[in-house]
Amino acid sequence: MRLLKRSSLIFCWLCFMAGTANAKSLSIACAANFTSAMKELVEVYEKETGVNVTCSFGSTGMLYGQIKNGAPYDLFFAADTKRPHLLFDEGKAFAPAIYARGHIVAWSASTELVSMPNWKEAVLSEAARRITIANPKTAPYGLQAEEALIATKFICQHQAETRLW
């Protein structure tokens, strides 16, 4: 609930800063990993302001490409800081602001793996038969997970590049 309140305040502030707080409509490009939270924020924002909000959800890279090529979004909620900074550097956006921070989580249904002292030992354990991560090409947290697996020597750079694991 605290995160929703904080996100609501940030969302309203960003809408105001985008110069659309008094507009009749608002167009948002939003990273797919923030879809459910954005839908909740939009519902509250529309109810409180009467402004109609249209959202387009997709990968940050795809949305970045659309904006770079002239897509008329008022706000861009990205899953990373790289693309918003590129748009800013290209003169296509105001300075980016961080609206949320994520954490990588290791999860397992296996009590044997969960009882391990840390995720590295769990990943390297014989009990870990399959590891799944988000696509490193489209999800920043997938890239971070892949980098962590390379650092633990669970996979090598070649495997990561060719997706052999």
- Angle, helices 82-89 vs 60-68, to 10°: value is 10
Domain(s) of CATH 3.40.190.10: residues in the chain: 2-89
CATH of 2-89, one of 3.20.20.70, 3.40.50.10420, 3.40.50.1980, 3.40.190.10: 3.40.190.10
For 96-142, the pLDDT digits (tens) are 999 888 777 788 888 899 899 988 888 888 888 888 888 887 777 88
Residue 37, token pair as written in the block: 């939270």
Q: Which H or E run contains 14?
A: helix 2-17
Res 76: pLDDT: 97
User: Sign of torsion, CA 61 66 70 72?
Assistant: negative
φ, ψ at 76 (rounded to 5°) = -130, 115
For 110-121, the pLDDT digits (tens) are 889 989 998 888
